[in-house]
Amino acid sequence: SYVCIFGQSSFHRNGCIGALNRYLLHGLPSMLERRCPCWACFSCIFDYVVYRRNPLVQILYLSMIIPGWIYGLSTTYKFFPDTAAISVWWWWSFHAVGVATLLSFIKASVSDPGFITPENAARYHAAWPRDHALYTKIKPCKECGLEVRPPRSKHCGMCGHCVSKLDHHCPWVNTCIGELNMRWFILFLTMSAVFCLHGSYLLAGTLYGYCGRSGILRPDLMLRFADGRTLKATLPMRMMLLMRDTGLLVPLCVFAFAMGVVLVLFTG
């Protein structure tokens, strides 16, 4: 990482770090391109994944949300009648939050972020007039066919369009975030955070209720082993018993809470 990031700096350029940087980033790929028959295919795949608009990260998001949703609900339902810590309202409201999260994800993915074309460029010029202070240079965009690019717009290489008030290209929704879909993106982040925190609370309440019913939290809990020994249960032993009885609910609860905190911070 150090060689790749700092190898082209003036401090390292003429030394061994600079030479190693040139070999890793230019010499080695060129050699593989000449000698490896699969290199061209790998380059195409790498270019598609990294530099082209593609749905791979969207599929990753859905592969985390939907299986976790189904597994969590199908598993907690077994323990739900014996769980006094969670009310029926919390269990059913999780369905509503999940549906709202998926709808906000779809809306953020399909909404127009504010793509600028020669046909609608005049509208964006009128919306954001050139102030001759911050926006002084006349910048064309040959790729979009714009003789003058409107102020507060930028070209996205992954989407291949100029976007009004471009914030960033988001791989999670596979589109740019700009003037017209920023509100849907914020809603998507908010609902994803609520979904994760709601799910972690539901799972934690279910686990807590099960611990109380099964006696795992009893301070005098004793465990009998196959060789006849009896030991007072330690915290790791109690966790092993809980994970044995509840499957993946413990790691799923921890993962949902951690992602919820990250999404709250990112939304903020």
DSSP H or E stretch at residue 122: helix 121-127
Positions annotated as catalytic residues are 170
Half-sphere exposure for 75 (CA within 13 Å, toward CB): 22
Alpha carbon 48 to chain centroid, angstroms:
19
Q: Which residues pair with 175 in a beta bridge?
A: 170
Q: 156-160: which pairs have CB atoms within 8 A and are 24 or more residues apart?
A: 157/51, 158/51, 158/52, 158/53, 159/53, 159/115, 160/53
Using CA atoms, how far residue 209 sits from 194, 205, 214, 247, in Å, is 22, 6, 9, 15
Q: What is the DSSP letter of 52?
A: S
- The backbone torsions φ and ψ at residue 178, rounded to the nearest 5 degrees and listed phi first, read -140, -155
- 180, 123 Cβ separation under 8 angstroms: no
